Structure 1
Amino acid sequence: MIPREWQESKNHFVDLLEQRVAYSNYQNRIITKSGEERIIIWNNTVLQDTRGNAIGIIGIGEDVTEQHKLERLKSEFVSVVSHELRTPLTSMQVALSLLDQKLVDPTSEDGQGMIHVATEGVDRLVRLVNDILDLERLDSGKVCIEKQLCYPENLVQSAIDQMKDLANQSNIKFAVSLVSCAIQADPDRLIQVLTNLLSNAIRFSPEHSTIEIHVETFHETSLHDLYPTTFLQFMVKDRGRGIPSDRLESIFERFQQVDASDSRNKGGTGLTCKVPVP
């Protein structure tokens, strides 16, 4: 059976030779010997004899696969960022407008609720900007890791303190189990990773559930080392629906969300996996 792309290409060249179409540019997908799919744009020129009859075609192909990938990333970026901006900005606009027009007393319970909504919107915008800035720093190689002596229990507690208010809204508790030891690491980056993980866990966990945080050591021996190397592992376990096994690799791509509709409702840019771990 002839592949559909081959049949479409054949039909195009036949139409071009028989002068049934005026366009000479054509785009199709090809499969390389290694099995990789590439997108090619062809610029075709019809060869004619002295009588003006078509006798052949010269085609020059240009590989535009990378350009298509960039366009797709750009489209995804605009879609995610525009949604993430619009949602908090709309809520902030409504809340501040009601307060500004004195339709709601800022000292009343409703007024305090409006102020809380506006504050949450600002916090969400700050997180969005920070995510984008982190992505830009990573791409440009400007992320600096500043290692210093720190302790896992302090890092975990700092991350919990930052996420406590968000967890309290859904009556979510934290259970911590960790080893006490001193490590050389960048505390700010580790806290950033932990708060990202906790933020996701809180958003997708059912109310009145518990999020577990474990920090433990494990040992590995490589072929080049005579003695085992000790590693410290941070784990966050929640009661959410989890990630399907066939989607585990995709979450490390920028702007990727397992369920876009649900993830958008709960917030998130799909950039949290882009934080470097020292």
Structure 2
Amino acid sequence: IGGLPVSIQNIRDVSEICKRHHIPFFFDCARFAENCFFIKQNEPEFAEATIQEIAKEMFELSDGAMMSAKKDGLQNIGGFITLNDGEVFEHLKELMIIVEGFPTYGGLTGRDLDALAVGFYEVMEEDYLDYRIDQIRYLGERLKSVGMPIVEPTGGHAVFIDAGKFLPQIKPLEFPGHALAVEFYREGCIRVCEIGSMMFADVDPETGIETPATRELVRLAMPRRVYTASHLEYIVETAEKIVKIKDQLSGYKITKQSKLLRHFTCDLKPKAMKKLKLLK
């Protein structure tokens, strides 16, 4: 969690286990370039390797991959699935004609395909990766300095605030992560994402009793090539305002939810309507 890397040895071990038991091994490779950069930084075997060489090693250990190109494709839309299995490929190709379009364009415009092709080269530039990951490290350190606990070490693409630790007065099933997300928007119009019991609580299908998630986190995901240092400082200033009123914050109750993926569409209301003193 927290955008932290998976080591090459871990990937090798999983690949070997899957092959031994005839289980296809697929990557969710949305953050593949960041993972390669961490491998280069932390694993002596790859200290002199290029990001492209590390990526080649990673992908050769898998049977296929799924990619949301909005991440390490540096793209505003689209994605892909890669496969070693020709039979599965033909089956998916038939399904995609129904929901996306013919495999020659996959529902994307020519402009988007061109941007995707360029993005895959640019995302593996080490200067870009170094700058992006350093942004995350800097934001994490600054949030800590004003009193917000985070998941450490920071990884790539996002800082994760420990909302359960930050708001101990709010029970897990009253969603401290969502309470903190609301305050970020209320104080600074900053959109963040709860990753806790609203998203990952386990609900017993027979009794309806919920078991909270292991952690109550809030994700501050960083858009690529968008934020400057002044943007990061604005986030920190907003966080500092929230720290000063954190004891006034209360939880939320779900009033309407879907059976699946409730965190996308559920309705909530505050458990206690407290009048907050807004800080100038």
| Fold equivalence (TM over 0.5) | no
> Larger % of strand: which?
1
TM-score by length of 2: 0.24
**Between Structure 1 and Structure 2, whose CA radius of gyration is higher?**
1
TM-score by length of 1: 0.24
